[in-house]
Amino acid sequence: MRQFADSLYARLALVLLVALGASYATMYFLFLAHLEDTRNAAIARSIATRMQLIEQLLASRPVEEISALKGITLAEQQPAVQDDVPAETRRFLADLRLHLVEATGRKITIVPVLRPQAGLWIDLHGRAASGQWLLIDLPRSHFRGSGTLISALFVGFAVFFAGGMALLWQIQRPLKRLGKALETVGHSPRLDKLPLTGVGEIRVLGERYNGMVDRLHRYEEDRATMLAGVAHDLRSPITRLRLLLELGGGSRNGEMAQNIDDIERITEQFLVYARGSDDEAIEERDAGIFVEEVIAPYASRAVTMVCDSGDPKVAIRANSLRRALVNLIENALEYGRPPVAVQVSRSQDTVSIAVHDGGDGIEAGRMAQALRPFSRLDSSRSGKGHCGLGLVIAAKIAEEHLGELKLRTRSGGGFVAEICLPAASGAGQEPIGAVAESR
C-alpha cells in the first residue's frame, strides 16, 4: 500500500482529484451566488409590482377598504425594529433593497420583523400615498442548491475524473511494464520486448527499450557464437595432441596428458556456457532420486546425500541441472574439505539442493566476483583446468529453471552452494517452457 502511495500514478491521481474537486466546488458556489442574485432580482420585481398595485389602490380607495382585502396588511406607523434578526436575513435585505431601488427608481425603507408574523414592512411613501407600510411575507433568505444542480455537477466531476484516470493509466501502465522489464536486465538470460502502447512519449521509450533488447540479443548471439566456435575448433588439435602423445611415448607423458585433460575440460566449459540448455526437454522429477543418480559416481569420494522432504518434485532439464550439480560437487571436492554432502529439502513452493563442504569457502565481499564469468579467486582457487565458469554455469542453469544459486559461508565453518528451484505444482506443469515461449 505504501509503495502505491509513493507511485507516480497515485500522486497524479491525487493532484487530479484535488484540482477537479476545487474547480467543481468553485463552480458550485459561483452557480449558487448567481442563482441567489437572480432569485433576489425576481423577488424584488414581484414586490415592486405589488407595491405599485397597492399604491394605485390607495390613491383611489379608502385605506380601511384596502386593509380588509385578504392578503393585504397595512400600517400607518413604522413598525419597531427588532434586534434579533439573523445576520443572514440582514444580508438578504441589503441585496433586496438594491434590487427594489433599481425596480422602483426611489429610495426604499425595509423593516424586518419576526413577531408576531415574520415578514418585511416596506414604506409605501412616494408618489401614490404617504404614511403607509405594507407587510410582505419574508422570502427565503438564500437559494439552496437543488438536487438537480448537485447531480449535474457530480456527473460532470465523475466523467472528468474517470477520463483523467484513464489518461493517467495510459501513462502509468507502460511505465510500470518498462520498470519491470528493466529489472530483468542483467538478471535474466532472455529479455522480452515491450508492446508499444500509450501516448507518444511513452511509445518512444518502449521503442528505445526494444532497440536495446535487440542489441543485447545480437551481442549475446555474437558472444555465444564466438565462444562456441573457439571451443569447437580447439577440439580437433586437442584430439591430435592426445593421439601424438600416446604414439610418441616419453617420461613426461603423464604430465602432458594431464595438461591436455585440463585444456579439454576448459573447452567443454566454454561450450556449455555458450550453448545453454534451451533445446533440452523439460521433465518432472523427484529431486531426491535425481540427486542420488548424480552423486552415485562420487560414492568412492565420500559424497553423501540427505533428503529432508518426502515430495521434492521439480520440473527440470535433467542433463542441464546434472551439469550444474556436478560443477558444485567438483568445486566442493577440489576447493573445500570433507565432509561433502548434498542436502535436498522443500519449503513451501521452493525445492532446495544444497552442496555442503567443510572448507573455508569464499569471503563475503567476494561472492559477487565469484559469479562473474572468467573470474578466478586466486587466493582460494588454485586448481588446474578451470577457467572461472563453474559457478557461473551453475547460476545460469538455475536461472534457466526460474530459480537462483545462493552462496553462503556457515557461521560454524564450511561453505554452502545452494540451488533453489520452484516446486512442481502438479502433472503437466511447464513453468520453464512457458516462460521460454513468452520470451
Would you tell me how many other CB atoms lie within 10 Å of the CB of residue 315? 21
How far is the C-alpha of 400 from the C-alpha of 348, rounded, in Å? 21
Q: Is 72 exposed, middle or buried (0-12, 13-18, 19+ CB in 10 A)?
A: middle
Could you write out the DSSP letters of every residue in 238-261?
Answer: HHHHHHHHHHH--TTHHHHHHHHH
Are the C-beta atoms of 145 and 32 separated by less than 8 Å? Answer: yes
Would you tell me how many other CB atoms lie within 10 Å of the CB of residue 293? 12
Residues with Cβ within 8 Å of residue 16, at least 6 apart in sequence:
161, 164, 165, 168
Are the C-beta atoms of 87 and 102 separated by less than 8 Å? Answer: no
Q: Which runs of E-coded beta strand occur in 146-207?
A: none
Rounded to two decimals, what is the model's pTM?
Answer: 0.47
Residues with Cβ within 8 Å of residue 185, at least 6 apart in sequence:
191, 216
- Sole residue written with cell 584430439: 239
Name the packing angle between helices 253-275 and 200-248 (round to 10°): 160
- Residue closest to 315 by CA, chosen among 228, 244, 402: 402
Would you tell me how many other CB atoms lie within 10 Å of the CB of residue 88? 10
What's the pLDDT score for residue 2?
A: 60
For domain 280-438, the CATH architecture is 2-Layer Sandwich (3.30)
- Residue closest to 50 by CA, chosen among 42, 61, 60: 42
Annotated domain spans of the chain: 2-137, 150-244, 280-438
* CATH entry 3.30.450 includes domain 2-137: yes
Q: Digits of tens for pLDDT over the chain (439 positions)?
A: 566 666 666 777 888 888 888 888 888 888 888 888 888 888 888 888 888 888 888 878 887 787 778 878 888 777 777 777 777 778 888 888 888 888 888 888 888 888 777 788 888 865 434 568 888 887 765 445 566 777 777 888 888 888 888 877 777 777 777 777 777 776 566 677 777 776 677 778 878 878 888 887 787 777 777 766 766 667 777 777 777 777 766 666 667 777 777 776 666 666 666 666 556 788 898 888 999 999 998 888 888 988 887 678 898 888 888 888 988 998 888 888 888 999 999 888 899 999 999 888 777 777 777 777 666 665 444 444 455 677 888 888 888 888 999 998 887 778 999 999 998 875 444 445 444 444 3
* C-alpha cell of residue 389: 565458469
Question: Containing H/E element for 354?
Answer: strand 350-357
Peptide bond into 195 cis (omega under 30): no
What's the pLDDT score for residue 353?
A: 92
